[in-house]
């Protein structure tokens, strides 16, 4: 154990002190900020001006009703605002100026269309009696691709026409408001874990984090094993440590580098989003339980160790970067299969395929965690899953250490399956 920790410490310190580690630790958050936050800021800045619309209708009452609902749309949107991953969605119809007109002639339409072309107007809502009868209203605008704003305008027009129809039937404004009030359905999980949809989105986010992280840093372990395998220093180190100790130390050391980088990114994200942490904590309260967080930590570490060891085994087999790239599919395939069968597991967490996949070591880190989050499986299944992952990880360490011990003495010879079997027996 002493040799394992010494080797792990050497691998860890050697990599965290490199310039590439520092650059990547800072570069990836900057890149994520650039592709997520900057476009939103640019869009909000571009949408900050006042929009000028004209509503043309056959009569003034219809035009005024549509104008009132257009002004009301931002208020309705704010009431319906939902927090998604700490961000808010805002109305696209704020800072709006609306004029009304009752001239529905083709001449008036052509003149207003020309103003839209010349950017003197942002849009024209053109309502005719024929259009009302056919339930079709023209909206003339150059921003036809602005789906969010156009959808809000469409909903405002629909609200206005419904209100006008109800008024014509003799309903009072209070009755109309009550009739058009939407009903919100609050789906509740019988286990008390919060809204099922929000739980589902949270779980999928965690599963994707596990999937991407395991693949990203598992490949780093494979490359580290390959680099050291081509170095003659390893032959000297084998005189003081066994191949199993060296392999375990390298997996621990390089794996710890990945976990350190992830921890730094999480800390940076928490600091950057500190103004919204209290609101975020309230949102997640009752959604992500302590059991879910503990399960994520356990299966994340187990999956990380398992796939890092599997990548190390690949690195121990090959002699070049090109050969390792050809065999990366061996590591990725179980993870891809896990993602493919996730839909079936989500629909029926207790199905046969879900149970088998949650017990099979290579798919268990993702699938068992998903089952725990959606519908807690029996404790004995969780225990067997964890035990099988640990046993498989230990077996892979033993296997790749034997391959590694003989493989570092083979120069320029591409290993075949019979050769690998001989290496295991020789070691």
Q: What is the pLDDT of residues 204-251, one digit of tens each?
A: 776 677 677 766 777 777 777 777 666 666 666 666 777 677 777 877
- Count the neighbouring beta carbons within 10 Å of the beta carbon of residue 343: 8
Which of 130-144, 176-190, 204-218, 327-341 has the highest mean predicted lDDT (pLDDT)? Answer: 130-144
* 197 burial via Cβ count (<10 Å: 0-12, 13-18, 19+): exposed
**Among residues of the chain, what percentage have pLDDT more than 90?**
8
pLDDT at 402: 75
Task: Report the predicted TM-score, pTM, of the whole model to 2 decimal places.
Answer: 0.62
- Determine contact, residues 203/343, Cβ cutoff 8 Å: no
- Count the neighbouring beta carbons within 10 Å of the beta carbon of residue 86: 13
**pLDDT-derived band at 84, boundaries 50, 70, 90:** very low
Please tell me the least confidently modeled range out of 191-195, 216-220, 262-266, 423-427: 191-195
pLDDT at 94: 67
Q: Is the pLDDT of residue 79 over 50?
A: yes
Q: Which of 53, 79, 76, 77 is nearest to 66 (CA)?
A: 53
283, two tokens: 């949102």
Give the whole-angstrom CA distance, residue 140 versus residue 109. 10
Give the whole-angstrom CA distance, residue 28 versus residue 21. 11
271, two tokens: 């600091």
* 146-191 pLDDT tens trace: 777 888 888 888 888 888 888 888 888 888 888 777 777 666 655 5
pLDDT at 359: 92
Please tell me the least confidently modeled range out of 35-39, 300-304, 331-335: 35-39
State the average pLDDT over residues 257-264: 79
Q: Is the pLDDT of residue 194 over 60?
A: no
3-state secondary structure of 240: coil
Q: Is the pLDDT of residue 391 over 90?
A: yes
Task: Show the domains of the chain with their CATH numbers.
Answer: 51-180 (3.40.190), 190-426 (no CATH)
State the average pLDDT over residues 397-415: 68
């Amino acid at each position: 154990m002493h040799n394992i920790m010494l080797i792990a410490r050497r691998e860890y310190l050697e990599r965290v002190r490199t310039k590439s580690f520092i650059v990547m630790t800072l570069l990836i958050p900057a890149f994520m900020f650039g592709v997520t936050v900057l476009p939103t800021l640019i869009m909000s800045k571009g949408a900050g001006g006042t929009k000028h619309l004209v509503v043309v209708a056959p009569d003034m009452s219809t035009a005024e009703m549509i104008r009132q609902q257009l002004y009301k749309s931002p208020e309705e949107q704010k009431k319906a605002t939902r927090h998604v991953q700490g961000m808010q969605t805002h109305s696209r119809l704020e800072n709006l100026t609306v004029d009304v007109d009752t001239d529905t002639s083709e001449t008036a339409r052509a003149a207003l269309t020309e103003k839209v072309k010349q950017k003197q107007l942002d849009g024209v809502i053109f309502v005719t009696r024929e259009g009302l009868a056919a339930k079709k209203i023209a909206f003339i605008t150059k921003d036809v691709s602005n789906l969010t704003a156009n959808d809000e305008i469409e909903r405002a027009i629909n609200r206005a026409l419904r209100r006008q129809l109800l008024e014509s039937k003799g309903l009072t404004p209070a009755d109309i408001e009550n009739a058009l009030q939407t009903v919100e359905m609050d789906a509740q999980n019988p286990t008390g874990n919060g809204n099922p949809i929000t739980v589902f989105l949270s779980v999928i986010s965690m599963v994707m984090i596990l999937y991407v992280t395991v693949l990203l840093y598992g490949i780093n372990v494979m490359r580290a094993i390959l680099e050291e395998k081509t170095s003659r220093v390893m032959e000297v180190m084998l005189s003081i440590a066994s191949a199993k100790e060296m392999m375990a130390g390298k997996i621990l050391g390089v794996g710890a580098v990945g976990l350190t980088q992830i921890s730094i990114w999480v800390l940076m994200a928490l600091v950057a989003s500190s103004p919204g942490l209290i609101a975020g904590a309230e949102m997640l309260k009752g959604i992500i339980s302590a059991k879910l967080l503990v399960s994520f930590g356990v299966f994340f570490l187990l999956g990380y160790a398992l796939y890092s060891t599997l990548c190390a085994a690949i690195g121990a087999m090959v002699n070049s970067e090109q050969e390792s790239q050809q065999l990366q599919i061996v590591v990725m395939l179980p993870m891809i299969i896990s993602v493919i069968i996730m839909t079936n597991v989500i629909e029926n967490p207790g199905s046969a395929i879900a149970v088998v996949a949650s017990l099979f070591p290579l798919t268990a880190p993702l699938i068992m965690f998903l089952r725990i989050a959606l519908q807690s499986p029996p404790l004995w299944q969780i225990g067997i899953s964890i035990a099988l992952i640990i046993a498989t990880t230990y077996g892979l360490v033993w296997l790749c250490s034997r391959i590694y011990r003989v493989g570092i003495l083979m120069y320029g010879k591409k290993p075949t399956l019979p050769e690998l079997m001989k290496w295991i027996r020789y070691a």
